[in-house]
Structure 1
């Protein structure tokens, strides 16, 4: 039975608690910590974790709770320090997205895992979804042909009170806006399906949230050798209609699910009937997808528990988390500097380092209010994807 601790008991911690509870024969949540005195004890009672020991002191928890694994569910700016402390204490780590606000911090986390012989996984729960797994299987099959163009709509909507929470809305504590903290889901999926681009251009804006320094909208173009991907990152889209649309040489495939396969007439214009045989083959492949036993956080937590138990690499490791942060960093650098940014980013690039974003990013507005907590539930998935 693996002994699990949770560091940070804000709203996203509930998704981790639910995930671990799906595997009662494999693990037990035995410890909770939060930096706010008394909060871990109160949240433990709310979540029905009466048997878990609660700690206001993290060092005490790491020293006495005999943990196998911790989930880190704290604000992004704290991820690196907390992850490294846990790894050095001999505990495997599952850390929430984004991995950290800078590549320098990501690399320090990866190094700490290697130096201490521990496992590090970064939450990317949308890879554990049947619709996304189906889309990847179709692309990997080659039936659609080489990719030409991808439209990624990471469309969310958040009202003004969203940025009232104390750590949101500043470059220093949140690490960025919707590109880092919302679209990282879709950017990770893009990397998973297409690999890393060779260059990025982008534009950043804050169109509706006057109580936040950070962007609430960005549009990026990712350049591949023979393809382009457009990524819209937003918290201003009513309806949160999210989508990934892949146009390939022989067919279009997308989530929400749609398949179209055009064929050419002698003059190059599309024939009305298209290519029904190819559509049928793609539909058959999609229909044959074996459903995942668990989706979302539950799926990733199940994988991580198995990885810890069997001492094998997790499906999503620190390098995966780093790649997503690298792409976000390139989008920010391109938008701030108003230039094309080549990938990969080198360690001598100013944007590799911790603190560069805080120094160089524009303050679209100044944060006007700050509260310790907000009522209501969080949403970890929108309409579509």
Structure 2
């Protein structure tokens, strides 16, 4: 039995709590911490949890009853809290984004190695059956060389979304839609194709004049084999129609799931009839990958618990989490400096540290209003990849 503490009891913490509660034989929640302890207490009551509630997470560092923590705080707090718990000999699952800078990521990874405790970074979309199946098909090389990937991380958030005290600021949120929304899609892209060699990007704030950060960005990624990818990150798109499309030498595949395999005429134009045999083979490969027992946060938390209890491999460890942040940091560097950015970003890069990044990013607007909490903090999500 693994004893869990929840650090930060904002809206995303509910996904963690509900996931842990799905595994009563493997874990139990024993503590909660929030700078607003009454909020933590109210959440504990909602889920009928008898837990220790504290305002300062440091009160839990020496609690021998705690084996692991879920960190669900605003991004700027992730690194310090994670490092403190790792050094205290406690396993850590930290919400996305992993941290506010690559330097912080490296410090977190170092703390995990030195303490010999697990560090996992939330990327729950990897734990979706359609995404696992898409990765499986790509790994089979059935579509040939990937020439182009199109990633649309399209969300919609009302103007008041950035009224929450920590949102919409470079210092506390660490960025806008690219970091805090497209992080899921960017993670899936780098998991499937790896990191590119260079990036060029532009960002804008089109509709949220109560935020310093971007609400829209477009990035072009180039890989060492000549392939290109384009990533659109947004919180201004009505409909939230999200997708990942991979255009290969032999066929096109995507989530929501779709397969097209065209065949060339002698003159290079497409034949009227597609390669139905290849399309059927790809469909079969997609369908043969089994349905996941647990999906989303529940899937990742199950992976985290099995790694703690049985030594199973983490799908997303600190190194994987850092790759995604490196890609996002390169997008911000390119957009803010107006340059093509080469990867990897090294420790002497001006965007490697949090201080360096804050010194180089532009403020689109300044926050005009701030609220401590919303009365309704329910999270709604975008496209269901199973339904399309």
Question: Which residue does the alignment assign to 1:63?
Answer: 62
Compute the displacement of 1:327 (Å).
0.4
Q: Deviations over 1:253-300 (max 9, x none)?
A: 011111000111110111010211100100111121200000000000
Tell me how far apart the structure 1 counterparts of residues 320 and 332 of structure 2 sit (CA, whole Å): 19
Question: Which residue does the alignment assign to 1:325?
Answer: 325
Tell me how far apart the structure 1 counterparts of residues 266 and 363 of structure 2 sit (CA, whole Å): 55
Are 2:219 and 2:331, in contact at CA under 8 Å, matched by a contact in 1? Answer: yes
Are 1:6 and 1:71, in contact at CA under 8 Å, matched by a contact in 2? Answer: yes
Tell me how far apart the structure 2 counterparts of residues 333 and 268 of structure 1 sit (CA, whole Å): 40
Are 1:31 and 1:65, in contact at CA under 8 Å, matched by a contact in 2? Answer: no
Are 1:214 and 1:364, in contact at CA under 8 Å, matched by a contact in 2? Answer: yes
State which drifts further: 351-360 or 317-326: 351-360
Q: How many residues align?
A: 384
| DSSP-derived class of the 2:62 partner | helix
Compute the displacement of 1:62 (Å).
2.1
Compute the displacement of 1:355 (Å).
1.6
Q: Deviations over 1:70-120 (max 9, x none)?
A: 000000000000000110111000000000010000000000111111110
State which drifts further: 205-214 or 37-46: 37-46
Q: Deviations over 1:118-154 (max 9, x none)?
A: 1100000000001111111111111111100011000
Tell me how far apart the structure 2 counterparts of residues 380 and 178 of structure 1 sit (CA, whole Å): 15
Are 1:212 and 1:365, in contact at CA under 8 Å, matched by a contact in 2? Answer: yes
Q: Deviations over 1:21-41 (max 9, x none)?
A: 111000000111112243322
TM norm structure 1: 0.98
Compute the displacement of 1:65 (Å).
5.0
Question: Which residue does the alignment assign to 2:232?
Answer: 232
| DSSP-derived class of the 1:366 partner | coil
Question: Which residue does the alignment assign to 2:347?
Answer: 347
Tell me how far apart the structure 1 counterparts of residues 21 and 288 of structure 2 sit (CA, whole Å): 29
| DSSP-derived class of the 1:45 partner | helix
Are 1:241 and 1:384, in contact at CA under 8 Å, matched by a contact in 2? Answer: no
Are 2:94 and 2:120, in contact at CA under 8 Å, matched by a contact in 1? Answer: yes
Q: Report the CA distance shift for 1:356/1:378 in structure 2 as closer, same or farther (over 3 A).
A: farther
Are 1:31 and 2:13 an aligned pair? no
| DSSP-derived class of the 2:206 partner | coil
| DSSP-derived class of the 2:188 partner | helix
Q: Report the CA distance shift for 1:136/1:127 in structure 2 as closer, same or farther (over 3 A).
A: same
Are 1:356 and 2:356 an aligned pair? yes
Are 1:216 and 1:234, in contact at CA under 8 Å, matched by a contact in 2? Answer: yes
Are 1:5 and 1:29, in contact at CA under 8 Å, matched by a contact in 2? Answer: yes
Question: Which residue does the alignment assign to 1:281?
Answer: 281
Tell me how far apart the structure 2 counterparts of residues 246 and 129 of structure 1 sit (CA, whole Å): 18
* Structure 2: tracts of 5 or more residues without a match: none
Tell me how far apart the structure 2 counterparts of residues 100 and 205 of structure 1 sit (CA, whole Å): 23
Q: How does 1:128-147 map to 2 (within 5 A)?
A: 128-147=127-146
Tell me how far apart the structure 2 counterparts of residues 368 and 59 of structure 1 sit (CA, whole Å): 32
Tell me how far apart the structure 2 counterparts of residues 148 and 84 of structure 1 sit (CA, whole Å): 40
Tell me how far apart the structure 2 counterparts of residues 248 and 194 of structure 1 sit (CA, whole Å): 12
| DSSP-derived class of the 1:336 partner | helix
Question: Which residue does the alignment assign to 1:375?
Answer: 375
Compute the displacement of 1:310 (Å).
1.9
Are 1:112 and 2:89 an aligned pair? no
Q: Deviations over 1:349-376 (max 9, x none)?
A: 0101122222111110110111011132
* Structure 1: tracts of 5 or more residues without a match: none
Question: Which residue does the alignment assign to 2:335?
Answer: 335
Tell me how far apart the structure 2 counterparts of residues 361 and 222 of structure 1 sit (CA, whole Å): 20
Are 1:124 and 2:123 an aligned pair? yes
State which drifts further: 31-40 or 14-23: 31-40
Question: Which residue does the alignment assign to 1:42?
Answer: 42
Question: Which residue does the alignment assign to 1:218?
Answer: 217
Are 1:119 and 1:313, in contact at CA under 8 Å, matched by a contact in 2? Answer: no
Are 2:350 and 2:357, in contact at CA under 8 Å, matched by a contact in 1? Answer: no
Tell me how far apart the structure 1 counterparts of residues 22 and 384 of structure 2 sit (CA, whole Å): 25
Tell me how far apart the structure 1 counterparts of residues 46 and 298 of structure 2 sit (CA, whole Å): 20
Are 1:176 and 1:214, in contact at CA under 8 Å, matched by a contact in 2? Answer: yes
